[in-house]
Structure formats: structure tokens, C-alpha cells
């Protein structure tokens, strides 16, 4: 991120949302909403003096609510740029941050602003969101303090997290000696997300190994439906984790109850390999929550009129042949916006989509010859053609249908549904076809010799 920020050809607009996108491929007009930080981004040095004086503390969203932050805070430790932001929903306008700020960067009267930019190509990399285990209180999550998700566990293990990287129980700040991990929570389930989240098995094994390396006496068991290790060297990693002493039990936990005195968790599960009914006590239960489309992915799909697959993630024009191209030329999908991906796949996809976007704005575009043309005198601006076009190539502008020759693939659907015949395919217009038919049906001339 620091390297990107220093590149003179890259402009980073943080705390900014895409409001609308118009125009055509190669000439997109993007309207952005720059939300108010209530901090001057030009003068803030990120010294954090304002944070120390703020009297308000609330749960820290970046740490999944496990720690706290102030009403004025820096989004996360590695944020680029490192600039404070004030959450007005939490702020009490006491002015303590203004008095503490040596650079006089606090502006409590700052307002949101809009910005319009012209771009040739768009890359959608909105990431993903973890399945919300709190919504349904899966396995006691949100009810029992020592039931956490893998995301929560990663924040506990992170040196910048709420416990400084030390593994401690939420209930009593003691180190858990016995940990259970449950796979496929909110994933591969017809009631929640039927798709496999792909990365959960490896994340659980990675976290289990990290804990075992730091605390060798910790007893860790992973409960699973089946372990999926499709990527390079993952099966070998799975074998190393087993050899290190991490236990694996095939079966889903059927019941979780809390001991109110010790806050330990009593679990019941059937081993589907041995048919053994297991009852056990664990100090901490870690849920491997599935991966779902993020809120930003759903919003950008509406703004750009992109298709979404059955799992809700953005859908490319072809999963195998064009996995990063959308139905609109110049708009590409990268990373978790397309579906669950691990880091290597995300990096590879990012490299590929960057090359596609660069080639699109700098290279030549092959156009279809048989694109529709519009008879403006017949068009009634009903919008039927715009709604049915699978490539977002038709748009009604100033009460007349306009066809983008770059986006059009010449399928002819718009022509077939136009109620006034205002649209016709170039080189395949009605009068041309009628003359071809007429010429074919004429009697063959016989020449006498």
C-alpha cells in the first residue's frame, strides 16, 4: 500500500463511494461521494494525539468488536494514508480532539463532497464479507463469550489486535488449553449459502498450526464435513498439520452448551467415520464462518448493471474462457468480488485484470459489423431495448435509444423486441433481406444458343 501511495501515476481516494457510472466503454463518467472525515487530509500527520484525548470509546469494528476505539480514530494500523477520521454517530462534539491537534486539522463542520472523474476502464474489487454468524446465533455465537469465528481468532493472534497477539479467552483473559474448530458454518448449507467458501479449511489449519507453534501444549480438534485442499501444496500442508498433533474429526457439532461457572463449552458431535458419539469440553470454540458477497459488491452490481451468479457474487461473461470480463467491455472483476479466493488466486487475478484494463485503454478494439442502427423518427423511447440488452449496450438518452458500438455484440435481441421497428441490424435490414428473398424466388433465365 505504501508503494502504491508513492506512485505518481496512482491517485488513492479513500473514504469514497461510487454513486453512479454513465457513458460508454472507454469513456466512463464516474460520480464519487467523498464522505466527510471531519479531518483535513492535507495537514493531518497521523500523530494520534487527538485519539489520546477523546473521552468516547466504542467497540472496534476492525477487531470485530473485540477491542475498543475512540470516536476519532485511524481505521486500522496499516491504513494508507494514515489519517484520522471522526465517526459523528459516536462523537459528542466536546472539542477535545481540536484542542489536542497540533496541526489544527480537525474540522467539525466539514461536509461530504462529490467528485466526477473520466476513466477508460473500471476494475471491481469490492472483496467479500464473512457470513454473519451473529444473526442466527450459530452454535451460541453472540450468546456464549468463548464462541468466536476464525476472523475473531485472527484478530486475537495479530500483534496489532486487541490482545497484542496473545491468545486469550474473551470471558476471563485466560489462555485456552483446549480448542475446538468447526468448519462450514454458514457455508455448504441450503439454508444459508449453498456454495463452498474454498478457503476455510486452509485458514483453520493455518490458525491451528500458529497456536500449536506458540503454545505446544494446546489441544486442538477440527470438526469437518470433508477437508478441501485443491491448491498447490495444500494437501502436503494438511499432512504436516496432522503430523504436528492437530486432531481431525469428521462430523458437525450437534449441540453447544455453556458451563455458567467456568464458561467452558460442552459440545456433542457424532464421528461419521466411526459412528462414535463424542461429548467433550472445550475452553474455546472457533467457527469457520463462510464467505458471502459484501455490501459493496451488491451496491456496485446495481450501479454498473452487472449480473450476479447463484451465490450472489459478480458473474463474468464466461467462467472458464473470460473469468474476469463482464458483459460490459472495459469493466472487469477481481478478487473476492468474483467469489471466494485465497491470497495467491487474488494476486494472480489482480495481475491478469490489470493487464486486461491496460490493454483496453491503450490498444485497439475490434468492433462488430452487424450492430443495430436507430431510426430516431420511429423511436418512442419505451426502453424495451435497454431492458432486454444482455450487454448493457443500449441506453435511452434524450428520449432516443442510443447503441454503443463498443459494447454491442450484434445479437439482435433489441431489434426483435422493438414495438415500432425503430431498430434494425446493419447489413441485415428488412429491405435488404426482402430483396435477397425476391432475387432468390425469381425464375431462372434460360439463354438460347
pLDDT digits (tens, 9 = 90+) for 186-199: 999 988 899 999 99
Q: What is the pLDDT of residue 271?
A: 94
Whether residue 143 contacts residue 136, with contact meaning beta carbons closer than 8 Å, is answered with no
Grid cell in block for residue 195? 456454495
Q: Based on the fold, state whether residues 321 and 415 are members of the same structural domain.
A: no
Name the residue with cell 491478469: 352
Residue 365: its pLDDT value, please?
A: 76
pLDDT tens, the chain, 449 aa long: 788 888 999 999 999 999 999 888 888 999 999 999 999 999 999 899 999 999 999 999 999 999 899 999 999 888 888 999 999 999 999 999 999 999 999 999 999 999 999 999 999 999 999 999 988 888 999 999 999 999 999 999 999 899 999 999 999 999 999 999 999 999 999 888 999 999 999 999 999 999 999 999 999 999 999 999 988 899 999 999 999 999 999 999 999 999 999 999 999 999 999 999 999 999 999 999 999 998 899 999 999 989 999 999 999 988 888 999 998 889 999 999 999 999 999 999 999 999 999 999 887 777 777 889 899 999 999 999 999 998 888 989 889 999 988 888 888 899 999 999 999 888 777 777 787 788 888 765 555 55
Residue 84 counted as domain residue: yes
Most distant CA pair in the chain: distance in Å?
115
Contacts of 336 by beta carbon, 8 Å cutoff, 6+ apart: 125, 126, 127, 128, 291, 294, 313, 346
CATH of the domain at 166: 3.50.50.60
Q: Is 175 helix (H, G, I), strand (E, B) or coil?
A: coil
329 in a structural domain:
yes
The per-residue pLDDT for 445 is 54
What distance in Å separates the CA atoms of residue 324 and residue 343, rounded to the nearest whole number? 16
Is residue 180 located within the same domain as residue 226?
yes
Please say whether the beta carbons of 235 and 270 come within 8 A: no
Task: Please indicate, yes or no, whether residues 248 and 263 belong to a single structural domain of this protein.
Answer: yes
Residues 304 and 433 in one domain: no
Asked if residues 10 and 2 have their Cβ atoms less than 8 Å apart, the reply is no
Residues 260 and 141 in one domain: yes
Residues 142, 284, single domain; the answer is: yes
* Distance (Å) of CA 206 to CA 203, 209, 213, 228, 239: 5, 5, 11, 14, 12
Query: What does DSSP assign to residue 432?
Result: H
Alpha carbon of 233 to those of 100, 111, 237, 346: distances in Å? 52, 51, 6, 17
Q: Are residues 137 and 265 in the same domain?
A: yes
For residue 385, being part of any structural domain is answered with yes
Does residue 21 sit in the same domain as residue 87?
Answer: yes
The beta-strand segments (E) located in 39-146 are: 57-59, 68-70, 72-73, 85-86, 113-119, 122-124, 128-130
Residues 203 and 280 in one domain: yes
Where residue 399 sits, what CATH number does that domain have? Answer: 3.30.70.20
pLDDT in tens, 39-49: 999 999 989 99
Residue 448 lies in a domain: no
Lookup: cell for 125: 474489487
Decide: 332 and 124 in contact? Cβ < 8 Å: yes
Whether residue 447 is contained in a domain is answered as no
Burial degree of 229 (CB within 10 A; 0-12, 13-18, 19+): middle
Contact 122, 304 (CB under 8 A): yes
According to the model, what pLDDT value does residue 434 have? Answer: 80
Report the alpha-carbon distance of residue 18 to residue 357 in Å, rounded: 19
Q: Is residue 124 part of a domain?
A: no
In 3-state terms, what secondary structure has residue 437? helix
Last residue of a domain, one of 292, 317, 339: 292
Rounded Cα distance, 417 and 413, in Å: 7
| Domain match, 213 and 133 both | yes
Together in a domain, 140 and 287: yes
Q: Range of 313's domain?
A: 293-362
The per-residue pLDDT for 449 is: 54
357 within domain boundaries: yes
C-alpha cell recorded at residue 331: 469493466
Q: How far apart (Å, rounded) are the C-alpha atoms in residues 39 and 114? A: 17
For residue 315, tell me if it sits in a domain. Answer: yes
* Alpha carbons 80 and 4: distance in angstroms, whole number: 9
Rounded to whole angstroms, what are the CA distances from 171 to 143, 163, 174, 285?
12, 13, 8, 13
* Cell, residue 317: 461473461
Q: Into how many domains does the chain fold?
A: 4
262 shares its domain with 328: no
* Residue in the structure block whose three cell numbers are 469494528: 61
How far is the C-alpha of 227 from the C-alpha of 406, rounded, in Å? 45
Of 117, 145, 164, which residue is a domain's last?
117
Examine the fold and report which residue of 246, 273, 292 is the final residue of a domain before the chain moves on: 292
Amino acid at each position: 500500500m505504501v508503494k502504491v501511495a508513492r506512485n505518481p501515476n496512482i491517485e488513492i481516494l479513500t473514504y469514497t463511494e461510487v454513486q453512479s457510472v454513465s457513458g460508454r466503454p472507454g469513456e466512463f463518467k464516474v460520480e464519487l461521494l467523498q464522505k466527510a472525515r471531519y479531518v483535513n487530509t492535507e495537514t493531518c500527520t497521523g500523530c494520534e494525539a487527538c485519539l489520546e484525548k477523546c473521552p468516547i470509546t466504542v467497540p472496534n469494528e476492525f477487531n470485530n468488536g473485540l477491542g475498543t476505539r475512540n470516536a476519532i480514530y485511524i481505521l486500522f494500523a496499516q491504513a494508507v494514508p494514515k489519517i484520522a477520521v471522526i465517526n459523528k454517530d459516536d462523537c459528542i462534539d466536546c472539542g477535545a480532539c481540536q484542542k489536542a491537534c497540533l496541526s489544527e486539522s480537525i474540522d467539525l463542520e466539514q461536509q461530504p463532497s462529490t467528485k466526477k472523474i473520466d476513466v477508460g476502464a473500471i476494475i471491481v474489487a469490492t472483496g467479500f464479507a464473512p457470513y454473519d454468524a451473529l444473526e442466527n446465533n450459530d452454535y451460541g455465537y453472540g450468546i456464549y463469550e468463548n464462541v468466536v469465528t476464525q476472523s475473531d481468532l485472527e484478530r486475537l493472534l495479530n500483534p496489532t489486535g486487541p490482545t497484542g497477539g496473545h491468545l486469550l479467552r474473551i470471558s476471563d483473559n485466560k489462555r485456552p488449553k483446549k480448542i475446538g474448530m468447526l468448519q462450514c458454518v454458514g457455508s455448504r448449507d441450503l439454508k444459508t449459502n449453498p456454495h463452498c467458501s474454498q478457503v476455510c479449511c486452509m485458514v483453520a489449519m493455518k490458525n491451528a498450526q500458529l497456536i500449536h507453534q506458540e503454545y505446544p501444549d494446546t489441544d486442538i480438534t477440527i470438526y469437518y464435513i470433508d477437508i478441501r485442499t485443491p491448491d498447490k501444496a495444500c494437501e502436503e500442508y494438511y499432512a504436516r498439520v496432522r503430523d504436528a498433533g492437530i486432531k481431525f474429526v469428521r462430523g458437525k457439532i450437534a449441540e453447544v452448551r455453556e458451563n455458567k461457572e467456568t464458561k467452558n463449552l460442552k459440545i456433542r458431535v457424532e464421528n461419521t467415520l466411526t459412528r462414535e458419539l463424542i461429548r467433550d469440553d472445550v475452553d474455546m470454540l472457533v467457527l469457520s464462518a463462510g464467505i458471502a458477497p459484501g455490501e459493496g459488491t451488491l451496491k456496485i452490481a446495481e450501479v454498473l448493471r452487472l449480473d450476479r451468479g447463484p451465490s450472489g457474487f459478480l458473474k463474468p461473461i464466461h467462467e472458464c474462457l473470460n473469468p474476469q470480463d463482464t458483459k460490459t467491455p472495459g469493466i472487469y472483476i477481481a478478487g473476492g468480488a468474483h467469489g471466494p479466493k485465497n491470497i495467491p488466486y487474488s494476486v494472480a487475478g489482480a495481475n491478469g485484470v490489470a493487464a486486461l484494463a491496460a490493454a483496453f485503454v491503450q490498444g485497439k478494439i475490434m468492433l462488430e459489423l452487424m450492430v443495430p442502427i436507430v431510426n430516431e423518427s420511429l423511436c418512442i423511447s419505451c426502453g424495451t431495448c435497454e431492458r432486454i440488452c444482455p450487454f448493457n449496450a443500449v441506453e435511452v438518452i434524450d428520449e432516443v435509444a442510443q447503441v454503443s458500438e463498443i459494447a454491442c455484440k450484434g445479437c439482435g435481441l433489441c431489434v426483435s423486441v422493438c414495438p415500432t421497428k425503430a431498430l434494425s441490424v446493419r447489413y441485415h435490414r428488412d429491405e435488404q433481406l426482402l430483396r435477397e428473398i425476391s432475387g432468390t424466388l425469381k425464375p431462372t433465365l434460360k439463354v438460347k444458343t
